[in-house]
Amino acid sequence: MSDIELIIERIELRGHRITEGRRRVIQAVLKQPSHFTVEDVLQSTRRVGRATVFRTMRLLLDLNIVCRVLLDGGNLHYRISSRGHHHHLVCNDCGRVEDFTGCDVEPLVQALAAAMKYEIDGHWLEVYGRCEACRLLRSGRPESQTTQVLSQ
């Protein structure tokens, strides 16, 4: 099965219809680079209404097909989700985003829920810093060492 067929099947299994507009939005999302904005999707789907794009992006987010990442001074970007619960490590210099698992904040989330009498739907964790390649560039290391790190 292709990526689009898998996504459509997942949406339909949750009881949602696949309209031509939704199909075009999904196709546009799959063609985007590693991270993208809703505006990028809108530009790729000129014949689809703005509301359809936003509603479809919300659906893809709710179904964990895409996930959010804050980049560029707080601008909201999206990317295709990796499987399962994960968080992001974001390089402040180059914008590289890496997924990581192993989140030990669950006890804190449960304690907050109990203390504040909340029913928690989920959490979102992003860690910001500099990747190895950007650190090497900042430190003035020779270009050959930096190129080796970037190619890994």
95 and 76 in a single domain? The answer is: no
9 and 73 in a single domain? The answer is: yes
71 and 17 in a single domain? The answer is: yes
Query: Distance between CA 92 and CA 129 in Å, rounded?
Result: 6
Domain boundary among 57, 81, 105: 81
59 and 71 in a single domain? The answer is: yes
Domain boundary among 64, 81, 98: 81
User: What is the domain range of residue 52?
Assistant: 1-81
Query: Distance between CA 57 and CA 67 in Å, rounded?
Result: 10
CATH code of the domain in which 23 resides: 1.10.10.10
**Separation in Å, CA 48 to CA 54, 56, 60, 91, 120:** 10, 11, 16, 33, 34
Q: What is the pLDDT of residues 104-113, one digit of tens each?
A: 888 898 999 9
Q: What is the pLDDT of residues 37-54, one digit of tens each?
A: 999 999 999 899 999 999
**Separation in Å, CA 15 to CA 9, 38, 49, 59, 69:** 10, 24, 22, 12, 27
30 and 67 in a single domain? The answer is: yes
18 and 68 in a single domain? The answer is: yes
In the chain, what percentage of residues exceed pLDDT 70?
90
Of residues 48, 83, 77, 49, the one with CA closest to residue 63: 83
70 and 103 in a single domain? The answer is: no
Mean pLDDT over 9-36 rounds to 94
Domain boundary among 25, 56, 81: 81
CATH code of the domain in which 118 resides: 3.30.1490.190
152 and 90 in a single domain? The answer is: yes
15 and 65 in a single domain? The answer is: yes
Is 144's pLDDT higher than 90? no
71 and 121 in a single domain? The answer is: no
12 and 77 in a single domain? The answer is: yes
Q: What is the largest CA-CA distance in the chain?
A: 56
51 and 93 in a single domain? The answer is: no
Structurally, how many domains does the chain consist of? 2
